[in-house]
Amino acid sequence: MKRMDIRARLLLTALLPVTTLGLVLAAVFLLGWVTDVSDAHQQRARLMARQMASASEYGLFSGNTAHLQSVVNGALQEPDVVWVGLVNPQGQLVAQSGRPPPSHLPTLTAGESLIPDALRRQDWLVQPVLASQIPLDDLFDAGSPSSDAPPPLGHVVMAFSRETLDQREQRLIWVGVAVTLAGMLFGGVLAWRLGRGLIEPIMEVSAVIDRIARGNLSARALAPPDDPMRDLKLGVNHMAMRLEQGRDELEQRIAMATRALRERTEEAETATLAKSRFLAAASHDLRQPTHALGMFVARLSQLPHDDETRQLISHLETSVQAMQALLDALLDISRLDAKSVQVRSRPFALSEVFAQLSNSLTPLALQQGVRLRILPTTAWLLTDPALLSRILLNLVSNALRYTPQGTVLVTCRRTADGQHARLQVWDSGIGIAPEDHEAVFREFYQVGNRERDQGKGLGLGLNIVQRTARLLGLPLQLRSALGCGSRFSVLVPLAPITEGQVHQLAPIAEPNDPLRGLGVLVIEDNALVREGLVGLLRSWGCEVGVADGQAEALQLLLHGPQTHVLISDYRLGHGNNGIDLIQHLRHTVGWALPACLISGDTDPVVIHSAQQAGLTLLHKPVRPAKLRSLLRRLAAAPGTGGPAGAHGGDSGLE
């Protein structure tokens, strides 16, 4: 229901007492007027009845009916008289005039009586006719009055119509209503004229307040001296002035705070940029010796040593692998944070991922005395196979790490809707308490490893799993309890299987080691890294050519031994980079020579450029096993034998 505005309320306030007073006065006066008219009507009727009684006294006494009839006929000439009748003492009607008499006459009483007849809208008046008492002057009579009244000579019965009375009452009512309405109209006009002088200033103040509420703080109300709302308007103007001053002051403070915030933001951005440059340089500089150290340790482990030296080299290799794992995990997290990882969803056979998982982790499971079971599957999934492989690799590695004995099981089950597959990693390890289910996905959080034993991992695997699953949009679930093992589940959409989706790697041509006799051209300007890499490649039986720049690499490629694979660092001297160099060498020889990049740069731009060029990018420090696996794939790629079999560049590895 819409509420009344101030105008309607003021008008109602003015009209309500006027209307109430007018109605009360009209009711009082109308009631008085109607009563007076009714009393006058009754008095007139009684007066006429008494006159009739006086006029008919002689006729009734003498029995002169002709005289009585003339009296009755004369009375009928009076207004409102409907019927007149004279009744003798015996109750007989001796004279009448007017409308037909009623079937039953009113009760004849010794006194005067007025009987209303509401049905006929008439009043019956019964008046007794008494003999006149004339006192006689008798000298000898004491003149004591008799106490007995003489009987009446008869009765006068008259019927008076109330039509004239009703008409008068109606006229009085209409006049009263008209007077009341006129009074209300006059009162309303007067109230409106009087309230107008108050309503308009209030409405003006309301309009000013509305403008202020809309943000126009410069709005002011006019306040002339004779204005009844002058004090209120001055108060509103003062309030608007204070608000305007406060707004201006607040805007100045906001501008100053914004300026200071902008300066601090620029300082923070400058510091962040400097930190990023420092971290990039530090990361690159740290990865270079770590990469060389890994190559030297791998080469050193291949030489004959006594038991004590071999044990020392084993500890050294473990330390290097832990450092490399930490750098790789930090690289994965930084790439996920920087959103530089591009998702390339495509249909693929899950069996290929399971086969890679088995080849990578079966030796670790055997070393720890844990049974690793990966159930075969024919499912085809639709997601990024490289990122899914990284999720499964971290989950299974984590399961093996926290399972002292027992089994780690990897399965794939179709869901009830037939649209998804649920990949599950089960283990019979130590389990995770319910209160730690969320904490285990945080960085560097490990259950039961407060001493930070590197043999139990770094506490980054599950964090990388959660971030990667979120990037792929795959729901990740954990179910575990202390002493009951753990189960990690990933829900992946299924892909329809078609003949064109089947993809298998080409078999290796060599029956034994494909790396023996493989021509590898290494382009590296860092002497320490170059020496470690070359030594490791030669220990694998590769024919290695070494160059530190474009000119030397081109000379060896054209006039040196046959080159099957290029391995180039990204950063080269004189502002050159490995991507441009590989493309230039391919263009020079006229075929897509298999190649890969090795770099300590973690810049997303470098990663994106390598992907655009179709080159595999390995981040330093590179694990020897990973490099060996990559060389095997490149050696088995079509076109490795020379231009005659060229089919383009390699697809690369994640």
H-assigned helices in 130-229: 163-213
Higher-pLDDT residue of 511 and 345 is 345
Tokens of 254: 């906001």
pLDDT at 186 over 50: yes
Please answer whether residues 620 and 528 qualify as being in contact, where contact means their C-beta atoms are separated by less than 8 angstroms.
no
In the predicted model, what is the mean pLDDT of the chain?
78
Highest mean pLDDT among 143-147, 324-328, 504-508, 566-570: 566-570
| Residue 107 DSSP label | P
Mapped onto helix, strand or coil, the DSSP state of residue 525 is coil
Per-residue model confidence (pLDDT) at position 41:
81
Q: How far apart are CA 532 and CA 538, in angstroms?
A: 10
CA distances from 302 to 72, 317, 427, 516, 613 (A): 162, 12, 35, 16, 35
State percent of the chain over pLDDT 90: 6
State the pTM of this model: 0.41
Higher-pLDDT residue of 85 and 202 is 85
Task: Give the total residue count for the chain.
Answer: 654
Assign 3-state DSSP to the chain and report helix, strand, coil percentages, each to 5: 55, 15, 30
Mapped onto helix, strand or coil, the DSSP state of residue 128 is strand
Q: How far apart are CA 115 and CA 106, in angstroms?
A: 8
Tokens of 626: 């990973």
Per-residue model confidence (pLDDT) at position 509:
39
Per-residue model confidence (pLDDT) at position 36:
82
Please answer whether residues 82 and 111 qualify as being in contact, where contact means their C-beta atoms are separated by less than 8 angstroms.
no
Enumerate residues 6+ apart whose C-beta is below 8 A from 82.
98, 99, 122, 159, 160, 161
Q: Which residue(s) pair with 545 in the sheet?
A: 521
Q: Would you put residue 544 in left (φ > 0), alpha (ψ -120 to 50) or beta? A: beta
pLDDT at 442 over 80: no
Per-residue model confidence (pLDDT) at position 411:
93
Q: How far apart are CA 129 and CA 110, in angstroms?
A: 9
Averaged pLDDT for residues 204-224 = 81
Per-residue model confidence (pLDDT) at position 409:
92
Higher-pLDDT residue of 276 and 595 is 595
pLDDT at 144 over 60: no
pLDDT at 451 over 80: no
pLDDT band with cut points at 50, 70 and 90 for residue 423: very high
Per-residue model confidence (pLDDT) at position 137:
54
Q: What is the CA radius of gyration of the chain?
A: 61
Low-confidence winner among 41-55, 210-224, 376-390, 410-424 (lowest mean pLDDT): 210-224
Host H or E run for residue 589: helix 578-589
pLDDT band with cut points at 50, 70 and 90 for residue 466: confident
CB 636: neighbour CB atoms within 10 A? 16
Low-confidence winner among 20-34, 71-85, 400-414, 454-468 (lowest mean pLDDT): 454-468
Q: How far apart are CA 358 and CA 355, in angstroms?
A: 5
Catalogue the E-assigned strands of 331-448. 346-349, 371-374, 380-383, 407-414, 420-427
Enumerate residues 6+ apart whose C-beta is below 8 A from 586.
592, 593, 595, 649
Span 486-504, pLDDT tens digits: 899 999 999 876 655 444 4
3-class secondary structure per residue, 257-282:
HHHHHHHHHHHHHHHHHHHHHHHHHH
CB 23: neighbour CB atoms within 10 A? 13
CB 229: neighbour CB atoms within 10 A? 18
Q: Would you put residue 269 in left (φ > 0), alpha (ψ -120 to 50) or beta? A: alpha
Tokens of 261: 């915030």
Per-residue model confidence (pLDDT) at position 194:
66
Higher-pLDDT residue of 347 and 278 is 347
Per-residue model confidence (pLDDT) at position 504:
43
CB 566: neighbour CB atoms within 10 A? 26
Q: How far apart are CA 497 and CA 516, in angstroms?
A: 38
Averaged pLDDT for residues 118-146 = 68
Please answer whether residues 566 and 582 qualify as being in contact, where contact means their C-beta atoms are separated by less than 8 angstroms.
yes
pLDDT at 80 over 80: yes
State percent of the chain over pLDDT 70: 78
- Tokens 């005067």 sit at which residue? 112
Please answer whether residues 141 and 90 qualify as being in contact, where contact means their C-beta atoms are separated by less than 8 angstroms.
no
C-alpha closest to that of 526 among 283, 291, 281, 297: 291
| Residue 142 DSSP label | -
Q: Are strands 113-117 and 154-161 parallel, antiparallel or unpaired?
A: unpaired
CB 572: neighbour CB atoms within 10 A? 21
Higher-pLDDT residue of 291 and 277 is 291
Per-residue model confidence (pLDDT) at position 533:
85
Phi, psi values for residue 190, rounded to 5°: -65, -40
Q: How far apart are CA 402 and CA 42, in angstroms?
A: 121
Per-residue model confidence (pLDDT) at position 490:
92
Q: Which residue(s) pair with 382 in the sheet?
A: 347
